[in-house]
Structures are given as structure tokens and as C-alpha cells.
Amino acid sequence: MTPAVIPENCSEAIWPARLRRVCPVLATCGLLVGLATTAGCSGASRRSSVVIFLDGAGHFTAGGNVRKGLRSAGYDGQFQNYLWTSFLGWGTDHLLVARSGLMAQGLADRIERLRRDYPDGEIHAMGLSAGTAVILDALARLPEGADVDTVVLFSSSVHANRDLTPALAHVRRTLYSTCSRHDLILSSLVITADGETGPAAGRTGFRIPPNLPKSERSAYAKVVNLPWMPNYAAYGWNGGHVAATRAEFVKHVIAPRVLSRGPFPLDRPMLISEDTDTAQTAATSWNTAIACSMSSADTSR
């Protein structure tokens, strides 16, 4: 299935003509999702700052919260929902569609066009759960010179040891990844969105793959795990899966990092030393082993 891109301030989902002819029901569903997640139609904005958001498997509402949080924090650029769902349920999306090369290539093509249109603009890719697999695959497919400024992976369902270096080659600043040991959806996951068995990054945080060549480890200086902490409950994230996209959390924790053009003072990158023996720094250990495991009231969504 060819993906669709929905501009924030236009109520028409951009579904390819061939798809509309072959499957008008899905095209109608895409239009309804677009209507539900947009705020009127005043013509597509051509501002030089763009956020592209991918929802999770079988999920269609997180984008509204993320957009609201960014707007509340002062973001006035474009916000686009990139539809990649099959409309056949979360299982199909998670196990099959998230690994579809067609979906990833469609997103890569979109990013490449945006970078061509806005060579000096800001492009941010954000996604929830299995949508993060599509983002990482798309970034790895980008040609040289096509890149995004920041990436935010909410409750990522890809494997914690996934090699991020192909994607990080196309990230100018930082890749953020929220994680929580209290995510019931990820704790019960058998197969990750990238087809592996083992812990998802949205539970433990990303880890530097043990077999990654020493020469490639420096790329992880761009990766910041954002573990759940009890004070985040005041912003609506109680450690649950979708709750990481709550508007208040996005406003107070995510937006300041994304909208900042320089290093954020509270960030603890995974790699802060060229010595690979200490690549898994004390900061990373704090992120993944302590803060992610703090106790809290827990919900699966």
C-alpha cells in the first residue's frame, strides 16, 4: 500500500489516484483520519519548519496530542501526519507493514523532497511505537545530503540493540527515544517491529550493539534515551505506552529539545567519550538501568 501524507491545515488526505480507484474504502478512511486530525483548511503552509509524525500500529490519535503540545510550546511550522497503516489492525501493521520497504521508501521520498524545498529549513521526524521502525528504515534509505534535524521516537517497538548508524548518518543533531519499564504493551511484546526477539528500545532504551565496529560507535553521540521518571506523571506520562505522547509531556520535555538549535543542557548522550570501553557511559546506565525501572502506577496505553 502506498502511504499518505496529511498536511495539518488541509482536510484532504493525499492518497494516490491509483489507490483511490483500487480501494475507495481505504481512501475514504484516510480522508476521515485527515479530517479528525486537522484544524480546518486554509491552504497548505510552506513554512521552512516541518514536523512529520507517524502514529503507532493500528493507532490514529497520538498525532493530535503531539501537535497540541508543540503548538503550546510555540512551534508554528508545518505538522504533517504520515499515514502508513493497513487499516487491518495493529497486528498486521506491527508484524508486516512496519517492515514494508514501500512505506519506508515513501517516507524517504517525502523527506528528500522537503529537504530539496527547504535546504536551510528544519525537518523533524517523530513517531510512536511501530511507526518508529518506518522512520528508521526511511532515514537509512535517504541519499547523501538528505537529512533531518532531529528525531523523536516515542515508546519505540524496535529492538534495543538495533544498529542505528545507517539512520544516524542522516540526522543532523539528536535522536531522542523515550523509554519506560512500565510500558505494558512493550513488556508483553514477543516480536519487535523490526522482526527481532528481545527487549524493545521503548522499555530499556537503545543500547550500542556489542558487535558494532569501534569506528562506527561515535555516531551514538547523537542518541539520547529519555527514560520515564516519576515527575513526568505531572505532564501526563505515567509510564504507559501511548501516554508518552501526551500534550503536556511534549510541551514541557520534548518541545524544548526539538526547538533548541544547540545542545540541550539536560541531555545525556549515549556516547560522551571516544574510548569505546566507556561508550556505555554512567549517564546511559542511569538512563536505562535506574530511571527506567522506577516504580509508578502503570497503564498499558
Residues 6+ apart with CB under 8 A from 196: 158, 159, 162
182 CA to centre of own chain:
19
Q: How far is residue 225's CA from residue 206's CA, in Å, rounded to a whole number?
A: 7
Mean pLDDT (whole number) for 234-245: 96
Mean pLDDT (whole number) for 203-208: 96
Mean pLDDT (whole number) for 147-155: 97
Closest CA to 75 of 28, 168, 142, 8: 8
Residue 182 has a pLDDT of: 94
Name the grid cell of 26. 481505504
pLDDT in tens, 263-299: 899 999 998 744 444 444 444 444 444 444 443 333 4
Residue 3 has a pLDDT of: 56
The helix/strand/coil state of 265 is coil
With a cut of 70, say whether residue 171 has pLDDT above it.
yes
Mean pLDDT (whole number) for 163-184: 96
The model's confidence at residue 121, banded by pLDDT at 50, 70 and 90, is very high
With a cut of 80, say whether residue 164 has pLDDT above it.
yes
Mean pLDDT (whole number) for 110-115: 97
Mean pLDDT (whole number) for 199-228: 95
Q: Is 233 exposed, middle or buried (0-12, 13-18, 19+ CB in 10 A)?
A: middle
Residues 6+ apart with CB under 8 A from 4: 13, 14, 15, 16, 30, 34, 82, 83
pLDDT, mean over the chain: 80
pLDDT in tens, 11-68: 323 333 333 343 444 443 443 333 333 333 333 444 489 999 999 998 778 999 999 9
**Phi-psi domain of 36 (left: phi exceeds 0; alpha: psi -120 through 50; beta: other):** alpha
Mean pLDDT (whole number) for 216-244: 96
The phi and psi torsions of 5 (rounded to 5 degrees) equal: -120, 130
Q: Domains in the chain, please, with CATH?
A: 48-293 (3.40.50.1820)
Mean pLDDT (whole number) for 223-233: 97
Mean pLDDT (whole number) for 105-125: 96
Residue 79 has a pLDDT of: 97
